Structure 1
Amino acid sequence: MPTINSPLTDDAYKVVTEALRDALIDLIDLSLLGKQAHWNVVGPRFRTIHFQLDEVVDAARKHADIVAERSATVGSPADGRAETIARDTQITRLDAGWIRDDDVVAAFTGLYEGLIARMRQRAQDVEQADPVSNNILLDVVEELEKQYWMWQAERS
C-alpha cells in the first residue's frame, strides 16, 4: 500500500482533511442534484432553469475535483463513492419525478444557503491550519455565492 506523506502537522491534518472531505461530499451531491433537476424541470422557465442547472453542475464538478486533489495532496485519499455521498450528505433531497421551475428555484435557493454557511465555516476552520486549503475553500464560497445570487434573481 503506497503512502502519501502529509506536509501538515497531525492536528492540522485532522482539521483540514475533515473540512475537505465534507466539502467534497457537498460538491458531489450538488452536482448530482443539479443533474436530477436538469433532467426533470418543467414549466414556463424550463429552458432558462435547464441551462442554469448545467452551470451549477459544471461549477460543482470543477470545484469537487480541486478539493479532491487537495485532499490527496495533503495525504488523505478522496472518497467520492456514491455510498459515501448518500450516507453523509447534508443537502436536502429533491423528490423524484417532474419538478416545477418555481420549485427548482426555491429548492436551490434554500440549499445554497446551507452550502454557503457550511463552506464558510470550513474555510474558517482551516484558515490557520492550512492557508492553501483555505484559499481553495474560499474559491468554492465565491462560486457558491455567485450561484446563490443567480438563484435568488430567478425568484418570481
Structure 2
Amino acid sequence: MAMVKSTLGDAAQKTTGEALQGALVDLLDLSLVGKQAHWNITGRHFKQVHEHLDEVVDLARQYADTVAERAVAIGVNPDGRVRTLADRTAIPQLDAGYITDDKVVAAITDVLAQIIQRFRERIEATEEADPVTQDLFIGLTAELEKQHWMFSVQH
C-alpha cells in the first residue's frame, strides 16, 4: 500500500488535516445545497438566481477538489463519502419542494456566512501549522465572501 509522506510534523499535519477535512465537508455540501436550490427555485427572479447558483456550485466543486488534493499532498486521506457529509455537515438543509427566489437568496446568504466563519477559523488554525494551506483558505474565503456579497444585495 502506497502512502504519502508528509512534509509537515505530526501536530501540524493533524491540525491541517482536520481543517482541510472540515473545509471539504463544507464545500461538498455547499455544492449539493446549491444544486438543490437551483433545481427547485421559483419566482420572478428565477433565471438570475438559478444561474448564480451554478456559479456557487462550480466554485464549491472546484475548491473541494483543490482542498482534497492538498490533504493528500500532506499525507491525509480526504473523506468525501455521502455518509461522512451527512454525519458532519453543519450547513442547514433546504426544505424539500419548490422554494421561492427570496427564500433561496436568504438561505444561500446565510449558508455562505456560516461557511465563511468556519473558513476564518481554519485560517487562524493553519497560520502556524501550515501557511500553504492557510494561503489556500485565504483565497477561497475571498471567493466565498464575493458570492456572499452578491447574494446579500439581492434581499
TM-score range normalised by the length of the shorter chain: over 0.9
How high is the sequence identity, in percent, across the aligned residues? 50
- Distance across 2 between alignment mates of 1:87 and 1:140: 24
d(CA) in 2 for partners of 1:110, 1:66:
24
Runs of 4+ residues over 2 Å off in structure 1:
none
Q: Which residue of 2 aligns with 1:149?
A: 149
Aligned to 2:130: 130
Unaligned runs of 5+ in 2: none
Shift of 1:75: 0.2
Distance in 1 separating the partners of 2:36 and 2:111: 14
Partner residue of 2:69?
69
Q: How far apart, in 2, do the equivalents of 1:6 and 1:85 lie?
A: 25
* Number of residue pairs matched by the alignment: 155
Residue 40 of structure 1: aligned partner: 40
TM-score, normalisation: structure 1: 0.98
1:6-155 alignment runs, 5 A limit: 6-155=6-155
Cα-Cα RMSD: 0.6
SS of residue matched to 2:54? helix
- Please state how far the C-alpha of 1:99 moved relative to its aligned partner: 0.5
Partners of 1:62 and 1:154 lie apart in 2 by 25
CA drift of 1:139 comes to 1.1
1:123 and 1:21 map into 2 onto residues whose CA distance is 13
What's the TM-score once normalised by structure 2's chain length?
0.98
Distance 2:88 2:129 in 1: 24
- Gaps spanning 5+ residues in structure 1: where? none
Alpha-carbon offset, residue 112 of structure 1: 1.2
Shift of 1:2: 1.5
Q: Matched residue of 1:121: which SS? A: helix
CA deviations over 1:37-91 (Å, ceiling 9, x no partner): 0000000000001000000000001111110000000001111111111110010
